[in-house]
Structure 1
Amino acid sequence: MKILFGSYSAISVLGGGIKVQMTNLAYHLQKFGYEIEIFKPTQDYNLKEFDLFHLFGAHLGTYHFGRAMHSLGMKMVVTPIFFSKRNPIQLYWLTKLAKGLRHFGGIWTEHLFTQELCAMAKIVTPNTEKEALLLTKGLKVNKEKIKILPNGVDEKFYNANPELFIQDYKLRDFILYVGHIGWRRKNLLALIKALARIDRKAVFIGPVLETDYAKILLAEIKKNKNIILIPNLPPNSPLLASAYAACDVFVLPSYYETPGLAALEAGLAGAKIVITKYGGTCEYFADYAEYIEPRSIQSIKNGIIKALNKKKDKTLAEHIKNNFLWEKASQRLVEIYRLLTG
């Protein structure tokens, strides 16, 4: 079976969780006899060669791509990666209002792009039950289409060696953040302010964006001698896995995560996790993480201190290893594809 993967056009330069998900699923699906090709915008395609099209992300950035594939007759699976701070009832009425604005004034909202792409899909694969509820109750996506597809993580992080990072940076048992530095959704300004109240070294690893918010973050980081910024560490660097293993606590204080691949990687490497309570994170980290309210600096601080005071063990790592490796996610995706292809 041959399947075409696709997502938004900037994924090749921005990277991030969706790219990690696509590339890992593509790799592991080959073990089940599937041929996966990741869409390249300038390449010519004979779509008759493909059995399915799988779209990752359902939003403005993927809407025209998904609509084109649907119009050309491709069977489509959509992994929406959707979150809203609204409850399902509020989301339903806001989307209903948005439809009226679109009809009379040509005004679109992000929710409408998600809703229409899910309507085009044969199967919709949210990665949590909470996302599924938002889709079915809030956006009225057909329940029969919904098949949960959990995110995954590479098993290599389970065996990560802390010594490489410790030797290079002379640090251990620090607080760690990994991700883009400059997106407001990641909520790093609140994290920096919380860290100012905690006497512990912290490391930020990730590309620094050219945004006004990033400039504010860099200025605040300079004020705190305990924060070390490492901006140019590749995602596949052995030092990244080593940093996860060398840290004491990993923090992801975002406004939401679905569920936060970096946190899964860190947890598999043995780090204690402090993470936002929004986006279905509890379905992955269960009772093994500290959940924080991202809009409260005090909550972030309290979560970190509580995690620092806990003994480090492998309980979370074993939970992730048993439930969320890419091999298991790929097996689930094979089951989903077979519903369409037999």
Structure 2
Amino acid sequence: MRSHVPDIAEASGVGRQTSGVEVAQPPSAVETDRPLSTLYLMRPSLRQMAVAGAEPRRVGSSAQTAPPRRCPGSANTGPSLAGGASSQGLDQSRPASAPATENVSLSPAPHINVLLAGKLTGMTAPGGGETQLRAMAQALPEVGVEARLWRPWEHDFATAECLHLFGSEPEHLSVVQAARQRRIPVVLSPIAWFDLASCCRGPWSFRRRGLACAKFLVRAAFPALTSWRRRLYHAVDLLLPNSQAEAEQLIRYFQVPPDRIRIVPNGAERRFASAVPEPFADKVGCRDFILYAGRIEPRKNQLMFLRAMEGIVVPIVVLGSAVPGHEAYFEECQRTAGRNVQFVGGLEHDDPLLASAYAACGCLVLTSWYETPGLVALEAAMSGTPLVLPRGGCAREYFGDLAAYVSPGDVDGIRRAVLDALSAGCSPQLASLVREHFAWRTAAWATREAYEYVV
């Protein structure tokens, strides 16, 4: 589960400093829209080789994925980065992405044995973090990594060369300490987001939101003050944020040295590119509907979306279940919804109906207070589905001008963007971008490089 609220700094002590690293004035995430593949890479990688024009030795090719629905014959129009290009002067209208490695198999290399672990209670209400964990467990073996989900009561650290933790959780501190005692390197995908707006709009009571804002302001003013989160980020060997913006937050608010960061973009399964619409269309009795997919909770902001859609006759499908503890919010959404809205509950991530839903809808909408970038957006984009996404977060780093962006509280703006997306139709450019640059296998290669660095 993604978290974003920093801790109140503890009164005693200052976190470990790293000499020779300039972290006092990191660049603003708003000021720099650099490609994911060019920021905070510590050594030459597959993606850097592609940027520089060096081609890895091919020893085979994976099967071509079927063209996305409603986008037959789409060309590969994903962005290509000029060799040696700096972050300055890049066309900011183009999405940031890593050069594709999806159809390239490299020379066999020795296997790396890695244990993967997330929050102990994560599967009680699985979200994007849990999906990322399971997707990486499936994709890593394709790139020469023996990856297993860590079960502490079955697997000893001695059986692994590296431990990969997912999520910023207090419980991970003791795990990192235990791994350190065994001299097992640890990498962490923080899956976190830090800004004042998300604290103010968090899914909590007024009192708790005020406390969250106070914590953030303390952290922003005094990044050297220690907390469990800062100790965790400085204790691991490498941090793997999924965007440039998240990486810069780690530097600014926790003084993580840039050379301890490597960006690994999120991904989507290629099966979403070839889904057919009929199964889900038959289930809901319509096609080209407006789809809102995600766990139902205040952070996802379904209520504001439904208010924005009042009076619209186009069918709307809300896909997702209420997060435990937010049943009252779900009931308010149901009361606000018009007669054209269907709540169909949640689907398992591997359910073919999920891919069919993306193929059947006219557009996907997420009006969350932030998305980083939202796995459902990547999955829907695999088939060229038009996207309406929140301005908060890092979605623009992935999709550039190939998606529409809205302010979560702007009812009129949400309404206009949704109607425009419905009329725009399928985007072959969007489908090609995501299929070529943001499949899980591409992310797995980048993750393997991180393992090789610390092992």
Under a length normalisation based on structure 2, what TM-score does the superposition of the two structures give? 0.67
Overall identity of the aligned pairs, in %: 29
For 1:44 and 1:92, how far apart are their aligned partners in 2?
A: 42
Give yes or no for contact 2:383–2:431 (8 Å, CA) kept in 1: yes
Structure 2 gaps, min length 5: 1-111, 198-214
Amino acid at match of 2:113: K
Amino acid at match of 2:352: P
Structure 1 or 2, whichever has the larger Rg, is 2
Residue equivalent to 1:330: 444
1:134-172 Cα offsets, whole Å, 9 max, x none, are 111222101111111011100000001011112232210
Amino acid at match of 2:397: E
Q: 1:188 to 1:91 in 2, by over 3 A?
A: same
Residue equivalent to 2:388: 274
Residue equivalent to 1:109: none
| Secondary structure of the corresponding residue to residue 401 of structure 2 | coil
Give yes or no for contact 1:192–1:221 (8 Å, CA) kept in 2: no
Residue equivalent to 1:216: 329
Q: How big is the shift at 1:93?
A: 5.4
Structure 1 gaps, min length 5: 103-111
Give yes or no for contact 2:362–2:422 (8 Å, CA) kept in 1: yes
Matching of residue 148 in structure 1 with residue 263 in structure 2: yes
1:105-152 Cα offsets, whole Å, 9 max, x none, are xxxxxxx33322110111111111111111112221011111110111
Query: Within 5 Å, which residues of 2 pair with 1:164-243?
Result: 164-181=279-296, 183-211=297-325, 213-222=326-335, 223-243=337-357
Residue equivalent to 2:168: 58
Residue equivalent to 1:106: none
Runs of 4+ with >4 A deviation: 90-93, 95-100
**Larger RCO of the pair (alpha carbons < 8 Å, separation 6+):** 2
Q: 1:273 to 1:135 in 2, by over 3 A?
A: same
Q: 1:276 to 1:113 in 2, by over 3 A?
A: farther
Structure in which a larger fraction of residues adopt helix: 1
Q: How big is the shift at 1:64?
A: 4.1
CA RMSD of aligned residues (A): 2.2
For 2:379 and 2:160, how far apart are their aligned partners in 1?
A: 32
Amino acid at match of 1:207: S
Matching of residue 94 in structure 1 with residue 219 in structure 2: yes
Residue equivalent to 1:286: 400
Under a length normalisation based on structure 1, what TM-score does the superposition of the two structures give? 0.88
Matching residue within 131, 138, 141 for 1:20: 131
Give yes or no for contact 1:151–1:324 (8 Å, CA) kept in 2: yes
Q: 1:339 to 1:254 in 2, by over 3 A?
A: same
1:220-247 Cα offsets, whole Å, 9 max, x none, are 3244111101114222111111110000
Amino acid at match of 1:246: A
Greater displacement, 253-262 / 72-81: 72-81
1:246-270 Cα offsets, whole Å, 9 max, x none, are 0011011111111100111111122
1:8-43 Cα offsets, whole Å, 9 max, x none, are 1111222211121111211121123321111225x1
| Secondary structure of the corresponding residue to residue 387 of structure 2 | strand
Give yes or no for contact 2:322–2:330 (8 Å, CA) kept in 1: no
| Secondary structure of the corresponding residue to residue 168 of structure 1 | helix
Query: Within 5 Å, which residues of 2 pair with 1:64-83?
Result: 64-70=174-180, 72-83=182-193
Residue equivalent to 1:29: 140
Amino acid at match of 1:321: R
Q: What is the aligned residue count?
A: 326
Q: How big is the shift at 1:271?
A: 1.3
